[in-house]
Amino acid sequence: MSPWDAIIIGAGPAGLAAATLLAERQARVLLVDEQPAPGGQIYRRIEHVASRRPDLLTVLGADYAHGADLAKRFRASGADYLPESTVWQVTPEREVWLSRAGRSARHEAQTIVIATGAMERPVPVPGWTLPGVMTAGAVQILLKSAALKADEPLVLAGSGPLLYLLAEQCLAAGARLAAVLDTTTAENEGAALVHLPAAVLKGGLAYLRKGLKLRAAIRKSGVPWFRHVTKLRIEGTDAVAGVTFESRGRTERLDARLVALHEGVIPAQQMTRSIGLAHEWDAVSHCFRPTVDAWGNSSVDGILVAGDGAGIGGARAAEHAGRLAAAEMLRRLGRIDGAARDRLAQADRRALAAHLAIRPFLDRLYAPRAEILEPADAVTICRCEEITAGAVRAVVAQGCLGPNQAKSFLRCGMGPCQGRLCGPTVTSVIAGALGQSDEEVGYYRIRPPLKPITLGELANMDAAE
C-alpha cells in the first residue's frame, strides 16, 4: 500500500481536530491511539458517557461535554482509525511502528502529526510511593472511565487549575473529599498579577471566571482548604495513613487514606525526543518542549507537533492547534497553496490566540516550587529503580555530568516507565548539584521501543502498509 498522506498519533483534541480536517479535505488519514475510543485524556470515554451516562456528564461539566461534538465530527469524517494501538517507534523518515492485537506493523506517511499531549509533572514528596497515593489525573480517569469515586477520605494536594476542577468534580460526584492542600505560593500570586490585565483584555476573562467559580464551590462545600502549603509529607507504613504539612506558619496533620497529587502538566516528550526533534527550555513552566513554528512544524521535515505536546495551552487551544497543523499539512501535500492555507487558518488562529491569552498569568501563578523540583536527599525520585535524590547527588559528586551518565551509575530512567516519571526531576537535581541550568544539563536520550513490547509482537510483524 502506498504511504498515507498523514498519520496522526494521539486521539485527543489536537489529534481529532487535525484528522477530521484532513479527512474532510479528502486526504488519506490514519489516526492511531492507545485508548479504545477517541477523546484522549481530557475527553476520555466521552462517547460512552454522552450517550449512556448523562448523570456523569453533568458531574464532569460542560468543558468535558464539548468533546462529544469533536468525536462525532471525527467519526463522520471518513478518517481511518486504529484504536488500542501502541506506537513504539517513529523515525525521521516518517515511518510509524505500532503494535495492535498482538501484532506489529509498519506504516509510512508523507506527513506526521505528534499529538500525544501532556503528562502530569512528577511530585516527589516524602511518602509519594505509598499505596493510596495517585495523581489527580488518575482520579479523573477512574471517574470518567468507570464512574469510580473515593469512598475513603481523599486529600487533594498541589497546585494548578486541575486541582480545583477535580475538587469540584469530586464534590459533585459525592466523593469523600477530606481537604484541599493548595501549594501555590504567595510569591507566585504576586508575580502573576503583572500578567492579569493582558489576560483579561485579550480573551482570558472566561477562564478567570471559571477558576473563580471552582474556588467558590470549594469554599461553599465547607471542605477544609489550606493555602500556601509547604513541607508536605505523606504518612504511613504499608499504605497512606495521613498527611502532615505547613500552612501559613502552622504545622497541620490530617487523617487520609487516599492522596491525589498535582503540580501542573508538562509536554510529553518521549516520542518527540526519540525522533530527534529539537527541544527548547521553558524557564517559567520549568520544562522542555519541542521547538515548533506557528504551524507546528518541527526541526524534522514533515513531522509536526500539535496540542499540549508542543506547549501547554489546554484542550480548546489544542483543538485549534490541531487544525492549524492540518492546514499546513494540506499545503505540504499540495492540496492548497500558502494563501489558501492562511485563509483556512484565520478563524483558528484568532481563537487560539484568545485561548492562550491566559497562559502567561497561569504559568507564572502555578510555576513549580523548588521543593518538588529538587527534593530532599531521602526522597525517592526514580520509583522504578528506587533511587533517591541523595543517590543522584552523590554520583554528581563523583563526576556524573548528566542524566544519561546517571543511568550508568544508578540505572535511574531504565525501569518500566522508561524515565517518564523521573526524567524531569533527575535533570533538576543534577542541575542543582552542578550549579547549572536544566537546559545546560539536558535530558535522557530516548530510544525505541517507546513502550514495552513482546517478542511475539515483533515476530508477528505484518507486511508494510
pLDDT digits (tens, 9 = 90+) for 259-290: 999 999 999 999 999 999 999 999 999 999 99
> What's the rounded mean pLDDT across residues 30-48?
97
The rounded percent of the chain whose pLDDT value lies above 90 is: 92
Rounded to two decimals, the pTM is 0.95
Question: What pLDDT is attached to residue 145?
Answer: 86
Please say if the pLDDT value at position 130 is more than 90.
yes
Q: What is the mean pLDDT of the chain?
A: 95
Tens of pLDDT along 238-248?
Answer: 999 999 999 99
Question: What pLDDT is attached to residue 463?
Answer: 56
The answer as to CATH 3.10.20.30 being correct for domain 4-119+266-336 is: no
Q: Which three cell numbers stand for residue 229?
A: 502549603
In the chain, CATH 1.10.10.1100 covers 374-441
Domain at 122-263, CATH from 3.50.50.60, 3.30.300.30, 3.40.50.300, 3.30.70.141 = 3.50.50.60
Taking the C-alpha atoms of residue 282 and residue 128, their distance in angstroms, rounded to an integer, is 26
**187 Rama class: left (phi>0) / alpha (psi -120 to 50) / beta:** alpha
Please say if the pLDDT value at position 431 is more than 60.
yes
> What's the rounded mean pLDDT across residues 13-40?
98
Which of 130-139, 140-149, 206-215, 322-331 shows the lowest per-residue confidence on average (mean pLDDT)? 140-149
Taking the C-alpha atoms of residue 100 and residue 107, their distance in angstroms, rounded to an integer, is 13
> What's the rounded mean pLDDT across residues 173-196?
96
Question: What pLDDT is attached to residue 148?
Answer: 83
> What's the rounded mean pLDDT across residues 101-116?
96
Q: How confident is the model at residue 361 (pLDDT cuts 50, 70, 90)?
A: very high
In the chain, CATH 3.50.50.60 covers 4-119+266-336, 122-263
Give the count of alpha carbons within 13 A of 31, CB side only.
34
Please say if the pLDDT value at position 185 is more than 50.
yes
DSSP state of 124: -
Question: What pLDDT is attached to residue 465?
Answer: 44
Taking the C-alpha atoms of residue 241 and residue 71, their distance in angstroms, rounded to an integer, is 41
Please say if the pLDDT value at position 354 is more than 60.
yes
Question: Cis link prior to 449 (omega < 30° from 0)?
Answer: yes
The rounded percent of the chain whose pLDDT value lies above 70 is: 99
> What's the rounded mean pLDDT across residues 364-368?
97
Residue 66 sits at the vertex; the CA angle it makes with 64 and 72, to the nearest 5 degrees, is 120
Question: What pLDDT is attached to residue 371?
Answer: 94
> What's the rounded mean pLDDT across residues 345-364?
97
Q: Where are the beta strands (DSSP E) in 127-167?
A: 133-135, 154-159
> What's the rounded mean pLDDT across residues 224-251?
96
Question: What pLDDT is attached to residue 461?
Answer: 83
Q: Which three cell numbers stand for residue 303?
A: 513531522
- Cα-to-chain-centroid distance, residue 103: 28
Question: What pLDDT is attached to residue 203?
Answer: 87
Q: How confident is the model at residue 1 (pLDDT cuts 50, 70, 90)?
A: low
At the fourth CATH level, the homologous superfamily of domain 374-441 is: BFD-like [2Fe-2S]-binding domain (1.10.10.1100)
Contact 415, 439 (CB under 8 A): no
